[in-house]
Structure 1
């Protein structure tokens, strides 16, 4: 067991950091655990920000990873609203940004997450331009959507990814007019490819959302600090009283980069490069969650995964590795989304170009189906839409790596479990 006089520091107060702290105590670590977060809220899960909390269906406390009293009860030294502005790997210290205090560590976990990418167009400084990453963003956006609904106002969303579509659904829930501008030809193009994106486009169109595909935002027009419209590169002007930038997230690597830790190439998602045990190029420093780029043995590539399940599982994996346990972080990537009456779960990794076939089981027109992305007869990814309790079988197919008959895969009469090697 690790000696009680050791200090483990966690930088980042999201799900990965909080679950890492929980795991250290669950595994019997008796030393100091210091968790530093630049947010003033206790660690929370982010999916509710664009789902239940934004819709008004869930309260703030329901998103917390642990009740506030849990940290003191488990002797976790929690520093909220505190930044870390420097990391000295030689001296094994982090420097707090407010007063320059140096905090020594024996092992360090970087769980700094990601931040929304900013629009690089005129007008982004207007008060009506929003991002969604933190509780404060969601609180503000919820009020904006309610006001737009009352006043028949217009929300323009730049980006048709998961956040963009979930906020579009929330906007329509409140009664706002919603337009989505997306450079790709379909929503979610980088994840689902062209074959499945139209399922989501039609879903949103049925609920009154307008799309402009193949277009980029070029300017946000305003007056007296308020948003009035948004222009696209084709010269079209869209009415807008609020704009959401939903064009992805960038890993928060500045601290690691300044300390000389190895970073992953941009084509591999960027982020802090770690090995299979989530250890960085420094043997005393680990990384987990959105910021970590790890080699995935199933797909043979380095991945940076920005979803809830990666933080949920990656934080504990890093904690066990910090304790000297043998760890291989090889979970099948998983995420979920809720939009109107559509619920979905996605497992695996199959961006456009990685697969050669998409197989559908069920009725895509009725939005009750499972889609499988395949390469050379192997299942790389699966998405179940309004079909439940199949995720374990889908992940077993992915992890099994065997060739599967596409006809049997598409036949609902053949149990998925029967296809798992």
Structure 2
């Protein structure tokens, strides 16, 4: 049977391909170290688990309103007020089945065939695919490595056409860990206001920031930018709740209402029990969030220095998230491979270390390593990579 054209246009996930190969090697009994994880390696905090259990015992296992429990919207609004001094009403918030689903719904209600969405590279793998599924056209703007992978206002200006509908800003970034500061966001925002471009601000990693840096939401910079921005966020990364699947969008009430209507015909509502867990997540105790952030920062400070000692590796220092995104073009040349993808495949086969090639993020000279794994495993992985480089270098 013939598949729909929209599905045929999707690009296969390089992450899933590497994961499948790593899992196959593990099944054969090999000691594989996977550094591809996009989730914290901590369990969900106990008070969140207890809140969800309590909700089940009290009978909260039925459908909820499509856009989310009023009590959850309330604590999300309180979180915005506390963290960014942003005011959002319940009509300006929709809760989804993860931030990914919120993004998917947003593109579906926003884009008509041929509408363009500017996506800075390197990008999270699902942005362009979700744009394509909505009939839109991804327009890539390269975030230069010497600018910490961030785009400039002039680059954005050059990419704008009569079909430009939106831009995606992901800060802190997956896969680079880069962070836009207030002035950089303000300048980008001026271009967006000038051309009436909707800003999609993916802030899922906002709680994981290091070195004394601060998170700024572009929506908090002015009332005009707030009206022009849809914020995407969730509890997956900040509270180690990836499997609970709770994310949300906040912004223009007309767009939020359309997303809510769409969700009512797709997911019905986010998982009820998970919503009660998310209410507890945004409750009074944020101590587990800070403890996890400190653990990631400690790992980063340890492994970064060891990573850049590997021949052929160079790496922008990340300011957030839990990824390193080194440039390995020289390492590939030194070892005689034709591409980073080929080098990554050989590393997995010979040293049993699984990395994610940067080609899946629109950056073919790089690889992504996640330090959301134990320090012991990460350091052993670096030793194996160094051994691979020594063995293969010509």
TM-score, scaled to structure 1: 0.30
Higher strand share: 1
TM-score, scaled to structure 2: 0.31
State the structure with more CA Rg. Answer: 1
Higher helix share: 2
